[in-house]
Amino acid sequence: MNNDQAPPRDYSAVDRLIGAFDQLIRTAAPAMQPATRPSPAEGQPELPLMPSERRHSAGLMRVNHTGEVCAQALYLGQSLVARDDQLKRFLTDASAEERDHLIWCAERLAELKSRPSILNPAWYVGSIAIALAAAAISDAVSLGFVEETERQVCAHLEGHLTELSADDRRSRAIVDAMGADEAQHAINARRYGASELPEPVKRLMGAQARVMTTLAYWL
């Protein structure tokens, strides 16, 4: 038996761009691979909701789904430019957890008889451009961007837990589990050497997030 292994392939810039486009298609497509972890909604009862509560839950979960589309783009863009192999592994692992979130949210939207945002492809493209720009500066800035993004996402998810009906246990279970993962991503980014972003950049990120969440809720 031959134990020789082929050397790892050195992917060109074109290869990576093709991979990014493929990731866009798979992220935006309705049919996705199963999540690697069971949905936190499993085992939670589907209690009756008022029509207004159901519409609000659908709007919030659509926002969360769009956030996860952006997360796929952010982690992919940063991993394409990351210089450190250990950092690349962190970004890849975090992206896999974010993909679980994406699938959980898509499944919950279907249960609520709703749909993802029609603007998701545009948000994906914008997010990957931002990620590439941050990662091109330095790994520390890239990680700082991850940390601040995840901090803002955690605050956003905590807000959703106050808005979701107490009877929407399935959505609440998903949002709660997502929040725990996002908080850990922020902690890990700091451990890997994230630099603190300037306050104007943080405020700009927050403003952009508000635009995205408002549009995704309705569209």
8-57 pLDDT, tens digit per residue, is 445 444 454 445 445 554 555 545 578 889 999 999 999 999 999 999 99
What does the pLDDT average to over 173-183?
Answer: 97
Cα torsion 21, 27, 28, 31 to 10°: value is 120
What's the full length of the chain, in residues? Answer: 219
Which of 176, 138, 63 is CA-nearest to residue 146?
Answer: 138
> Residue 7 above 50 pLDDT?
no
> Residue 122 above 60 pLDDT?
yes
User: What Å distances lie between residue 16 and 23, 33, 172, 215, CA to CA?
Assistant: 10, 21, 36, 30
User: What Å distances lie between residue 140 and 28, 87, 100, 114, 193, CA to CA?
Assistant: 29, 10, 26, 39, 6
What does the pLDDT average to over 97-115?
Answer: 95
Angle between helices 139-163 and 169-191 (to 10 degrees): 160
Q: What residues does each domain of the chain span?
A: 49-218
> Residue 177 above 90 pLDDT?
yes
135-151 pLDDT, tens digit per residue, is 888 889 989 999 999 99
> Residue 4 above 50 pLDDT?
no
Proportion of the chain above pLDDT 90, given as a percent: 61
Q: What φ, ψ does residue 21 adopt, rounded to 5°?
A: -65, -40
Which of 2, 15, 1, 127 is CA-nearest to residue 74?
Answer: 127
Under 8 Å between Cβ of 106 and 64: no
What does the pLDDT average to over 86-114?
Answer: 92
What does the pLDDT average to over 157-180?
Answer: 97
* Secondary structure (DSSP) of 102-150: HHHHHHHHHHTT----TTHHHHHHHHHHHHHHHHHH-HHHHHHHHHHHH
What pLDDT does residue 22 have? 53
Angle between helices 85-111 and 51-81 (to 10 degrees): 160
Q: For domain 49-218, say whether CATH 1.20.1260.10 is its number.
A: yes
